[in-house]
Amino acid sequence: MPFAQLMRTAVLSLACLSSSIAFAQEATIRKNLSERLPNLPKIDEISKTPMNGLYEVRMGSDVMYSDAEGNFLIQGALIDAKQKRNLTEERLEKLSVIPFEQLPLKNAFTQVRGNGKRKLVVFADPNCGYCKRFEKDLQKLDNVTIYHLLYPVLGEDSHTKSKNIWCAKDKAKVWNDWMVNGTSPAAGQCDTAAITANIAFGQMHRITGTPTLFFADGSRVPGAVPVAQVEKMLASIR
């Protein structure tokens, strides 16, 4: 057998062996953690980290760390001291991404400014003080389409106001009148299944606070960040 073919066979064999060992290691961690910690959420993925002997255990959009045998479980941030990087934070940012086309935009009402080419999605509660402050800042943005998703998480009155806004003929105007000018929305009656769907979507994807923003690249930003940061992110997406 030619030397080159021998080398290819050897490399392939090593790759298969390495894959088998990795699979067995992950199976061991999964089995031991599940047996020893029966209340642990369902483990979705186990993968090696850059640190020797340490494995990432992913449960939904949460991560913890384990040794190779599932004897120890660590919760906290994994820091690459050499490169000065928070590897856990970077990983969580990737896990928080939702592809733009998977966002429930059919349940949104929109405001278009200028040419409307740039896209911004905002999950907001009408009784959220941070949302009101952020909404006033949003008035400064131009050339953007803003998708507002009503996300009432602050109590019964939030549900009532969300219903009244959603049932209004001009949702965007009533929203602005309330959030920017403090004019309460008039009572309205209509099908509010869209609001229920927004809440279910948010719970599934761990949207735990308002406002929560999503950009066209799927990136998520929680909180009422400065409008200059929003502008910077919008400008960076091509």
> Which amino acid is located at 220 in the chain?
R
CA dist 4 → 1, 11, 13, 18, 37 (Å): 8, 11, 14, 21, 49
Per-residue model confidence as pLDDT tens digits over 98-113: 899 999 999 999 999 9
Q: Domains in the chain, please, with CATH?
A: 3-95 (3.10.450.70), 100-236 (3.40.30.10)
In this predicted structure, the answer to whether residue 10 has a pLDDT above a threshold of 50 is no
Q: What is the pLDDT of residues 15-59, one digit of tens each?
A: 444 445 556 788 999 999 999 999 988 898 999 999 999 999 998
Report the pLDDT averaged over residues 117-143.
Answer: 94
Please provide the average confidence, as pLDDT, over all residues in the chain: 88
What was the pLDDT predicted at 94?
Answer: 83
User: How do 118-124 and 212-215 pair as beta strands?
Assistant: antiparallel
Percent of residues, the chain, with pLDDT higher than 70: 90
The string of pLDDT tens digits covering residues 203-236 is 888 898 999 999 999 899 988 999 999 999 999 9
CA angle 10, 16, 18 (to 5 degrees): 100
Q: What is the model's pLDDT at position 20?
A: 52
- For the chain, the maximum distance between any two Cα atoms, rounded to a whole number of angstroms, is 84
Q: What is the pLDDT of residue 17?
A: 40
